[in-house]
Structure 1
Amino acid sequence: MADTCAAIVTALSATSKPVPVYIPAMSEPATPAPRTRYGRTPHGRRKVRSALALAAMELFAAQGFEATTVDQIAEAAGVGRRTFFRYFRSKEDVVFPGHDERLAEVVERLDAADPAADPMAVLGRTAEVVLEMYLAEPEVSLKRSELTREVPSLRDKEITSIDRYQRVFARYLRDRFSGQPGGDLRAAVVAAAVVAAHNHVLRQWLKSGGALDAMQMLRDALQQVAGAMSGQWGEVPAAEAGENVVVGVVRTAAPAGVVLKHLEEALRDLC
Structure 2
Amino acid sequence: MSVKSRQAPRPRAGRTSAGRRRLRHALTVAAIDLFLEQGYDATTVDEIAAAADVGRRTFFRYFRSKEDAIFPDHEDVLGDIEHALATAAPEDNPVAVACAAVRLVLDYYVADPDVSVKRFALTRTVPSLRDREVATVDRYQRVFARYLRERFEAAGDPMAGLRASVAAAAVAAANNHVLRRWLRSEGKTDIQADATEAFRLVTDAFPMPAQPGGQTVVAVMESSASMAEVMRQISAALRPG
Using structure 2 for the length normalisation, give the TM-score.
0.80
1:39/1:176 CA distance change after superposition, 3 Å: farther
Alignment-mate amino acid for residue 35 of structure 1? P
Which aligned pairs between 1:36-47 and structure 2 lie closer than 5 A?
36-41=12-17, 43-47=18-22
1:220/1:39 CA distance change after superposition, 3 Å: farther
Find the counterpart in structure 2 of residue 243 from structure 1. Answer: none
Give the root-mean-square deviation of aligned CA atoms: 2.1
Q: Does 1:84 find its partner at 2:59?
A: yes
The 1-side partners of 2:69 and 2:15 are apart by 16
Please, which runs of 5 or more residues in structure 2 have no aligned partner? 211-223, 228-241
Find the counterpart in structure 2 of residue 51 from structure 1. Answer: 26
2:49 to 74, 77, 82: 74
| Aligned 8 A contact 1:39 1:48 in 2 | no
- What SS is found at the alignment partner of 2:66? coil
Deviations 1:49-101 (A, max 9, x none): 22111111110111110111111111111222222222211001111120011
| Aligned 8 A contact 2:70 2:119 in 1 | yes
Q: Does 1:206 find its partner at 2:175?
A: no
1:36/1:215 CA distance change after superposition, 3 Å: farther
Which aligned pairs between 1:40-189 and structure 2 lie closer than 5 A?
40-41=16-17, 43-178=18-153, 179-189=156-166
- What SS is found at the alignment partner of 1:66? coil
| Aligned 8 A contact 1:166 1:195 in 2 | yes
Alignment-mate amino acid for residue 159 of structure 2? G
- What SS is found at the alignment partner of 1:150? coil
> CA offset at residue 193 of structure 1?
0.2
The number of residue pairs the alignment matches comes to: 210
Alignment-mate amino acid for residue 130 of structure 2? R
Which aligned pairs between 1:216-235 and structure 2 lie closer than 5 A?
216-230=193-207
The 2-side partners of 1:45 and 1:216 are apart by 33
Find the counterpart in structure 1 of residue 233 from structure 2. Answer: none
Percent of aligned pairs with the same amino acid: 50
- What SS is found at the alignment partner of 2:91? coil
The 1-side partners of 2:82 and 2:143 are apart by 7
> CA offset at residue 36 of structure 1?
4.8
The 2-side partners of 1:100 and 1:74 are apart by 22
Alignment-mate amino acid for residue 194 of structure 1? V
| Aligned 8 A contact 1:56 1:73 in 2 | yes
The 1-side partners of 2:208 and 2:147 are apart by 20
Using structure 1 for the length normalisation, give the TM-score.
0.72
> CA offset at residue 225 of structure 1?
1.1
Q: Does 1:34 find its partner at 2:10?
A: yes
The 1-side partners of 2:62 and 2:141 are apart by 25
Please, which runs of 5 or more residues in structure 1 have no aligned partner? 1-24, 234-256, 261-271
> CA offset at residue 118 of structure 1?
1.4
Which aligned pairs between 1:14-25 and structure 2 lie closer than 5 A?
25=1
